[in-house]
Amino acid sequence: MPRTLPRTLQKNWTLPLLLAAGIALLAPPAFAQHGPMHGDAGTPAMSGGMPGGMHGGMHGKDHQLAPHNAAVHFLKMSGMLELNDPQTARLIKMRDQWIADHSVHEAQLQAAQADLQRALFAPDLDAKRVEALLTTVGGLEGTLWRAFVAQLGEIKGMLTADQKTRLTQMHHR
């Protein structure tokens, strides 16, 4: 006997689309731990990176792109980019400011994503709970994306033309 969608889902395709997006968001590769390029030694909150390797980046094709503390990565690349002392000092301030401003958001996002994963894979799907969690995850991700873009723009704005060329070359490798 074929199963049909509940009436609420037959009338409103928004929730199924959001569920599909949520499942894609929580695919196993997104939870993979990344190598030493991602985050400093210490706890994720101290590093400014997303817990569980969720912060991704553009350091490999297998990584998920997600908002994160970009200053951490630029500090690790300081030798390759030949950053000067004032640039390094500015990046340290930016890294620390990110941690102060966004550690709570990152922890909340990690918790909401874990709750969403449990809700999606529970024996019975509570559509209202999933929809509320998707709203929470989306709001937190939006906050972090805007902060990431602002920080990355500030970082790139302080680089010299030569440093930008080196950065582009590094990303193409």
Q: Tokens in use for 165?
A: 């060329």
Determine which of 11-20, 29-38, 83-92, 121-130 has the lowest per-residue pLDDT on average: 29-38
Percentage of the chain modeled with pLDDT above 90: 60
Cβ(44)–Cβ(51) below 8 Å: yes
For residue 15, pLDDT over 70 is answered with no
Cβ(70)–Cβ(39) below 8 Å: no
- pLDDT tens-digit readout, 73-128: 999 999 999 999 999 999 999 999 999 999 999 999 999 999 999 999 999 999 99
The residues, any chain, with a CB within 8 Å of residue 65's CB and separated by 6 or more, are 56, 57, 58
Three-state DSSP class for residue 162: helix
Look over the chain and give the mean of its residue pLDDT values, rounded to a whole number.
76
Cβ(57)–Cβ(35) below 8 Å: no
Q: What is the DSSP letter of 50?
A: P
The residue among 32, 151, 41 whose CA lies nearest residue 90 is 151
